Amino acid sequence: MTILLYELVGADPSRPFSPHVWKIALALAHKGLPFETVPVPFTGVPKIEGGFSKTVPVIRDGGTLMKESFDIAVYLEETYPDRPSLFKGEGGKAAARFVERWSQAVVRPYLGGAALMDIYGRLAPADQAYFRPSRQARFGDRSLEEVSGEREAGLHAWRAGLEPLRDMLSYQPFIGGDGPLYADYIVAGFLQWMRVVSPFRFLDPADPVAAWFERCLDLHGGLMRKVPAAA
């Protein structure tokens, strides 16, 4: 049965941008599971499946509803054990949680601020009216314009924070080793988020991290490339 993936969009339903949804789209593709996407704007999220979750992704797999990206990945791994593994073992599953928390602590915060106005500009009016106050509260009651205006100033430190990934890439092509695993999708989801919403060049093209992300863009029939980069 085809799995439904509820994904976050702005005014254009063909450009899903939630990093956490991209993780799961990649995970579903990795497992070779057919899925259909259901585009949902910010203000539609609380209504998904009768109020099942405050956040996306949400998946419906037959009679099963799941939320929270990591929990969904574990569900897919356990429910479809004969499909290609997302973790390659219990050690990989446990370490993926570390990669997730690294991404949340190091990769996400700067990007979330830097792209505020890019995201805002892509939303329909009803979602803009939700997004502005909710995000201004999240960023200490500062305006979206002020926070996103700091992105040049913060870029160097953000790129420096990617050093563990960059350094690891001198040993192996993916966090998963020779090939990608869910740990790669965790980080790639954040970079795809930026690729879809912003024309700003977050990665130096000469950075090994950029080369790794290009490899990720090629995965699963170019799943992420099907959404053109923001111009």
Contact string 48-87 vs a copy of itself (x = CB under 8 A): -------------------------------------x-x
89 scored as a contact of a copy of itself (CB under 8 A):
yes
Task: Out of 22, 174, 190, 193, point to the residue binding a copy of itself (CB under 8 A).
Answer: 174
Site for a copy of itself in 105-144 (CB under 8 A): 105-106
- When binding is defined by CB under 8 A, the residue of 168, 210, 227, 230 that contacts a copy of itself is 168
| C-alpha–C-alpha distance, residues 187 and 214, integer Å | 13
Residues contacting residue 217 through CB under 8 Å, at least 6 positions apart: 192, 224, 225
Closer of 1 and 153 to a copy of itself (Cβ): 153
What is the separation of C-alpha 130 from the centre of its chain, rounded to a whole number of angstroms? 21
Contacts of 144 (CB under 8 A, 6+ apart): 116, 117, 120, 132, 135, 136
Interacting residues of 171 by C-beta distance below 8 A, sequence separation 6+: none
Question: What is the token pair recorded at 226?
Answer: 């099907």
Q: How far is the CB of 215 from a copy of itself (least distance, A)?
A: 15
Q: How far is the CB of 154 from a copy of itself (least distance, A)?
A: 16
User: Sheet harboring 64-67: ordered strands across?
Assistant: 35-40, 3-8, 58-61, 64-67
Sole window of 8-16, 118-126, 133-141, 171-179 interacting with a copy of itself (rule: CB under 8 A) = 171-179
Does the protein bind a copy of itself through residue 97 (CB under 8 A)? Answer: yes
H or E element, residue 204: none
Per CB under 8 A, residues contacting a copy of itself are 85, 87-102, 104-106, 163-165, 167-168, 171-172, 174-178, 181, 183
